[in-house]
Structure 1
Amino acid sequence: MVISPLKLNLDTVNLTDEQFYQLCQKNSNLKFERTSTGELIILPPVEGESGNREAEFIIDLGIWNRQTKLGYTFSSSTIFKLPNGADRSPDAAWIKKERWEALTPEQKRKFPPIAPDFVIELRSATNSLETLRQKMQEYMNAGVKLGWLINPQQQQVEIYRLGQDAELRNLPTELLGEDILPGFTLSLDCY
Structure 2
Amino acid sequence: MRGTKVKLPFEDLGELLNRLGGVPPERICLDPFPGTATKRDLLRKHGQPRKLYELVEGTLVEKPMGHVESIVAAELVALLGTFVTRYELGYFTGADDLVELMPKVVRGPDVSFTSWVQRPERTADTNAISKVIPSLVVEVLSEKNSRGEITRKLKDYFFAGVRLAWVIDPRKRTAEAYAAPDEAVAIPADGTLDGGDVLPGFTVPLAALFAKLPAPAAKKQPRRKKK
Query: With structure 1 as the length reference, what TM-score do the two structures score?
Result: 0.82
Instruction: Identify which of 29, 42, 61 aligns with 1:20.
Output: 42
Q: Highest Rg: 1 or 2? A: 2
* CA drift at 1:23: 3.5
Asked whether the equivalents of residues 54 and 107 of structure 2 are also in contact (C-alpha less than 8 Å), the reply is yes
| Residues 1:29 and 2:50 aligned together | yes
Instruction: Identify which of 165, 176, 184 aligns with 2:183.
Output: 165
Change (3 A) 1:115 1:121: same
1:78 matched residue in structure 2: 97
- Structure 1 segments unaligned to the other structure (5+ residues): none
1:146-169 residue CA offsets vs partner (Å, 9 max, x unmatched)? 010012334431111047622223
Separation in 2 of the partners of 1:163 and 1:114? Answer: 20
Query: Structure 1 or 2: larger strand share?
Result: 1
2:111 matched residue in structure 1: 92
Instruction: Identify which of 121, 131, 142 aligns with 1:113.
Output: 131
Query: How many aligned residue pairs are there?
Result: 183
* CA drift at 1:142: 1.5
| Residues 1:7 and 2:31 aligned together | no
2:167 matched residue in structure 1: 149
Query: Structure 1 or 2: larger helix share?
Result: 1
2:83 matched residue in structure 1: 64
Helix, strand or coil: the match of 1:120?
Answer: strand
1:54-81 residue CA offsets vs partner (Å, 9 max, x unmatched)? 1101111101111110110111111111
Q: What residue identity is the alignment partner of 1:42?
A: E
Task: Give the 4+ runs in structure 1 shifted more than 6 A.
Answer: none
- Structure 2 segments unaligned to the other structure (5+ residues): 1-22, 211-215, 217-227
Query: With structure 2 as the length reference, what TM-score do the two structures score?
Result: 0.70
1:65-102 residue CA offsets vs partner (Å, 9 max, x unmatched)? 11110110111111111135311111110001132356
Change (3 A) 1:42 1:120: same
Question: Once the two structures are aligned, what percentage of the paired residues are identical?
Answer: 23
1:14-42 residue CA offsets vs partner (Å, 9 max, x unmatched)? 52x334323337x252211112x222102
